[in-house]
Amino acid sequence: MGDSLIEEKGQYSELYKILGYVFKNDGLLREALTHPSLEGNRNYQRMEFIGDRVLGLAIAVWMYELYPDADEGGLASRHTNLVRRDACAKVAEKLNLGNFLHMAKSSEDTGGRKRKTILADTCESIIGAIYLDSDYHTAEKFIRRNWKDLANNVKVAERDAKTKLQEMVQAKGKTPPVYTTIDKKGPDHEPVFTIAVKVHGEGEEVGEGYSKRGAEQRAANLMLERLSEAWKKNT
């Protein structure tokens, strides 16, 4: 990748150096960097959809190669750790993608450039844009280059809070926890969910998050902490 070619590409020349890839179609990159808060503009959501699938396949093949002695469960668990939002957000932070986002001032003023959910979405959309601008092999090279440290140190994923809570209450002979959305506020592109989890005979706990899954996990974690403490005293 020649420096002269990068300089010719104008506004994204700095980002091309960071990505290690020069787009043939700058429009794809701009779309991948456009937050949904800019109404009337094509935003990154469709490319995020593509990038998520490309990332999933690339990581699956990579885990198969890196861990030849791991069984299906071990591969799946490592795969989960590497494609989850936290991993994508870490890569986005390393690449400083937040600095290049196009977003409404209202979203920027509320910390949008540093919000992990937005950074994770942007990272996936960049993968999708590279795939659409070139091919799978090029996107895979980008993924392996930027996920290298994570992949070499990935561990089998721990069970999440919802899974732990369900196993705990079922071990006590109780019915599974019930999750209910009790509030949703904020604009469609940046919603905040409030979700309650109820365990029969044990009341409820409430969690908030920028996604339903995140709010459910927070509520489940609070319930886990309370029940663990309460049931420990009764043993």
For 222, the token pair is 């609070």
CA distances from 110 to 97, 120, 190, 217 (A): 17, 17, 10, 23
pLDDT digits (tens, 9 = 90+) for 177-202: 999 999 998 887 778 899 999 999 89
For residue 98, tell me if it sits in a domain: yes
Regarding pTM above 0.75, the answer is no
> For the domain that residue 198 is a member of, what is the CATH number?
3.30.160.20
Q: What is the pLDDT of residue 9?
A: 58
Same domain? For 136 and 116 the reply is yes
Same domain? For 116 and 14 the reply is yes
232: Cβ contacts below 8 Å, ≥ 6 apart = none
Residues with a known catalytic role: 52, 124
Domain limit, last residue, from 153, 184, 219: 153
What CA–CA distance (Å, rounded) separates 113 from 73?
35
Same domain? For 128 and 208 the reply is no
For residue 97, tell me if it sits in a domain: yes
Residues of the chain predicted below pLDDT 50:
1-8
Same domain? For 187 and 116 the reply is no
Q: What is the pLDDT of residue 157?
A: 54
Q: What is the pLDDT of residue 55?
A: 97
Q: How many domains does the chain have?
A: 2
Same domain? For 131 and 172 the reply is no
Same domain? For 51 and 26 the reply is yes
Domain limit, last residue, from 153, 170, 191: 153
> For the domain that residue 144 is a member of, what is the CATH number?
1.10.1520.10
pLDDT digits (tens, 9 = 90+) for 100-124: 999 999 888 989 899 999 999 999 9
Residue 200 belongs to domain spanning: 161-233
Same domain? For 107 and 220 the reply is no
Nearest to 107 by CA among 46, 51, 44: 44
Q: What is the pLDDT of residue 4?
A: 44
Same domain? For 97 and 126 the reply is yes
